[in-house]
Amino acid sequence: MTDPGPGIVYTETMVHSPTPQFADDVPYQLAIIELAPGRRLTSRILGEKVNIGDPVGFVEFRNEVPYFQKAS
């Protein structure tokens, strides 16, 4: 998988009732990241909570799930 690059938070939500495979991770934040006009990606957020409009940077893939964090 290739690095999707930086993006902007399009929308976000906190997960408190996950599927069984993610039960140990709660609460965690999911976000849809706008990478380029018309191109969006659902991802997990690491570290500091993000809000709509925040810039984010790609961190890594874990089991084919992209992880982003708030850009400094």
Asked if the structure places residue 2 within a domain, the reply is no
Q: Model pTM?
A: 0.90
**Tally of domains in the chain:** 1
Residue 35 lies in domain: 7-70
Asked if the structure places residue 12 within a domain, the reply is yes
> What's the pLDDT score for residue 4?
92
Is residue 20 within 8 Å of residue 42, measured between CB atoms? Answer: no
Bigger pLDDT: 72 or 17? 17
Residue 1 confidence (pLDDT) above 90: no
CATH of the domain at 14: 2.40.50
pLDDT digits (tens, 9 = 90+) for 24-67: 999 999 999 999 888 999 999 999 999 999 999 999 999 899 99
Asked if the structure places residue 1 within a domain, the reply is no
If you ran DSSP here, which 8-state letter would residue 17 be given?
A: S
Asked if the structure places residue 31 within a domain, the reply is yes
User: What integer is the mean pLDDT of 9-35?
Assistant: 95
Distance CA 60, CA 51 (A): 20
> What's the pLDDT score for residue 37?
80
